[in-house]
Amino acid sequence: MLETGSAVKKIYKFGLLVLALLAVLVWIAVFSLRPQNFLRVNVLDVGQGDAILATTISGSQVLIDGGPAGGGVLRELSGQMPFFDRSLDLVVATHADADHIGGLVEVLARYRVKYVLTSDIPADTATFQAFSEKLAASGAHIIRPGPGMKIWLDNSTLLEILGPPGNFVPVESNETSIVTRLRYGRTAVMLSGDAPVAEEAAMIVSGRPLGADLLKVGHHGSKTSTSNEFLSAVAPGFVAISVGVKNRYGHPADEVLERLAAHGVTIDRTDEEGALEYQSDGVSLGKK
């Protein structure tokens, strides 16, 4: 009898423990689902590459690029998204280079992705092959970019496609970068992929508004991007450079850092600070 009694007590204690754990999980879920009253932009720490997560006030999630394969995009996403959330509304593959789409293979395997914005320009690489196969198997709807295209992420947040503009014929991979401008209220974020100076110039000629509070600097701060003219047109308050620690390309280039400093912007770098977070309330954008 005594033994049965202690067994019942053990089951009772175990039951209480399970209930307590469930209560904690429910509270975490409730906390995670609370609507935020700002647009959140996380420049994730994926080493030498790009991966930017934007979360709108209604909880719509957009991932722009996924960094390189093994760059840690899944770890970074799980740090920013609720633990039970396994879906993304939109993924943008800016162009076919491995430091942008390598990690998207892992993302497409782990997350249910509703839409993928990607050009139909192929690349002769194993990474692009893996990305294409995973994309085809994922069931995501594919959106092909066009200049001037607008994608509403929710009632108040808009993603505009600015590049490559219609007057521009890309001759190399970086020039195929899909450049987007995320708009919420009076604020905007320019996400320029690896767009080089020639694509920047064509966007200026296209005449579309380029102004943004935050600029994700093109091509990891390479000297082939971020012209003075483009900086003047975008006129950002903040710039984010997504770049690997002591990378073999020497990014960001000193001359780009000097150019940015001359424009009086605040420079944030993932190689120095890790992941970066910005928030916009629709009136102004700031760094968290």
| Choices 98-106, 107-115, 121-129, 261-269 (CB under 5 A): range interacting with Zn ion | 98-106
Beta bridge partners of 266: 238
Q: Does 268 bind Zn ion (CB under 5 A)?
A: no
| Choices 26-34, 70-78, 186-194, 202-210 (CB under 5 A): range interacting with Zn ion | 186-194
Nearer to Zn ion, 45 or 194 (CB): 194
Give me the least distance between CB of 49 and Zn ion, in Å please: 6
Total residue count of the chain as it appears in this document: 288
| Choices 97-105, 112-120, 150-158, 252-260 (CB under 5 A): range interacting with Zn ion | 97-105
Give me the least distance between CB of 126 and Zn ion, in Å please: 17
Give me the least distance between CB of 42 and Zn ion, in Å please: 18
Closest CA to 216 of 98, 64, 71: 64
Q: Does 175 bind Zn ion (CB under 5 A)?
A: no
Nearer to Zn ion, 45 or 99 (CB): 99
Classify 104 as helix, strand or coil. Answer: helix
Nearer to Zn ion, 89 or 194 (CB): 194
Strand order across the 179-184 sheet: 150-152, 157-163, 179-184, 187-191, 214-216, 238-241, 266-269
Q: Does 199 bind Zn ion (CB under 5 A)?
A: no
| Intra-chain end-to-end CA distance of the chain, in Å | 61
Beta bridge partners of 42: 53, 277
Beta bridge partners of 189: 182, 214
Closest CA to 218 of 183, 259, 252: 252
Contact residues toward Zn ion (CB under 5 A) are: 99, 194
